[in-house]
């Protein structure tokens, strides 16, 4: 599903190298977790995949299925089925949640040559998704993220995922922002959307999240590369011993 090879990325601003030959392959139906010390380049990886400005890829490739992600504009990547739940969700005053979601969904359908959904069908779809995720649809009438609590923003992200039905979901969680309730929300959302045709990349600082979302594969990232790959037990090892041994081993 997602295939990243020898990815090298530097900051456009000053040429600082952030990703230094990263390899990562996520299969359909799988959940992979990435953990790693602060400043490893975890967020940079998600931004580069989503196509955010300010980074230049100097070497390597990233494919979603057959699609060369790096050749596409950000909205084309979304249409190809990539979804990034932002670390710091933006507030968009004046734009209702429903309007935003419907616009995003229709843009993707159009790009795929499909018909737009009518407003009645869209309403039905959103209500059904909200209900299956046990999310209050009232929230949808408010401007996007404005005055949302941390938990509401998370709920909103999960609902966006459910409506847009991406093939590849990347969740980049804040290092400290997830309280126990938000963690439960995110994990229930991810688990509900787990599907043979969909894959997840969950970037997290805490093993606790992985108690709820059992990943198939855990990667440790440091200094712009994946330094170790294992199963869920690798996350437990990090929780117990920190990163020091793994970093030394990788030298
Ligand atoms: P992580 O998410 O693993 O904590 P980041 O990807 O946020 O790591 O950052 C990796 C490194 O790149 C850090 O040293 C960070 O300061 C730097 N960096 C990333 N993006 C930018 C940016 N837009 N401007 C300046 N420095 C950046
Ligand atoms: Mg960080
Ligand atoms: Mg980060």
Q: Buried b / exposed e across 17-56, counting CB within 10 Å, b at 16+?
A: ebbeebebebeeebbbbbbbbeebbbbbbbbbbbbeeebe
Beta carbon of 44 within 6 Å of any ligand 1 atom = yes
Is pLDDT at 148 greater than 90 in this prediction?
Answer: no
CA atoms within 13 A on the CB side of 144: 18
Across 110-114, 141-145, 152-156, the highest mean pLDDT is recorded for 110-114
Is pLDDT at 206 greater than 80 in this prediction?
Answer: no
Ramachandran category for residue 45: left, alpha or beta (phi over 0 → left; psi -120 to 50 → alpha): alpha
Q: Which residues contact 157 (CB under 8 A, 6 or more apart)?
A: 85, 86, 89, 171, 189
> What ipTM did this prediction achieve?
0.93
* pLDDT score, position 183: 81
Mutate which of 37, 44, 45, 221 for ligand 1 pocket (most atoms within 8 A of beta carbon): 44
Beta carbon of 189 within 6 Å of any ligand 1 atom = no
Domain residue limits, the chain: 1-32+39-71+206-251, 90-166
CATH code of domain 1-32+39-71+206-251: 3.40.50.300
Distance separating alpha carbons of residues 62 and 67, to the nearest angstrom: 9
Is pLDDT at 8 greater than 90 in this prediction?
Answer: yes
Beta carbon of 39 within 6 Å of any ligand 1 atom = yes
Report pLDDT digits (tens) over 34-52. 999 999 999 999 999 999 9
Specify the pTM. 0.91
CA atoms within 13 A on the CB side of 68: 4
Summary mean pLDDT of the chain: 88
């Amino acid at each position: 599903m997602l295939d990243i090879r020898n990815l090298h990325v530097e900051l456009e601003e000053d040429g600082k190298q952030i990703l230094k030959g990263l390899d990562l392959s996520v299969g359909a139906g799988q959940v992979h977790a990435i953990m790693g010390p602060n400043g490893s380049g975890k967020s940079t990886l998600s931004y580069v995949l989503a196509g955010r400005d300010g980074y230049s890829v100097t070497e390597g490739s990233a494919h979603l299925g057959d699609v060369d992600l790096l050749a596409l504009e950000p909205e084309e990547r979304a249409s190809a089925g990539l979804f990034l739940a932002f670390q710091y969700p933006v507030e968009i005053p004046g734009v209702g949640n429903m309007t935003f979601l419907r616009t995003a969904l229709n843009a993707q359908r159009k790009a795929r040559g499909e018909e737009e959904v009518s407003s009645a069908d869209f309403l039905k779809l959103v209500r059904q998704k909200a209900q299956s995720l046990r999310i209050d649809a009232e929230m949808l009438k408010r401007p996007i993220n404005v005055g949302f609590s941390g938990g509401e923003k998370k709920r909103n992200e999960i609902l966006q995922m459910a409506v847009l039905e991406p093939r590849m979901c990347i969740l980049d969680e804040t290092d400290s922002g997830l309280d126990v309730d938000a963690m439960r929300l995110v994990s229930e959302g991810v688990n509900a959307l787990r599907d043979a045709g969909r894959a997840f990349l969950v970037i997290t600082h805490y093993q606790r999240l992985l108690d709820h979302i059992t990943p198939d594969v855990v990667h440790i990232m440091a200094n712009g590369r994946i330094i170790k790959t294992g199963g869920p037990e690798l996350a437990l090892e990090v929780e117990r011993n920190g990163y020091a041994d793994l970093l030394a081993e990788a030298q």
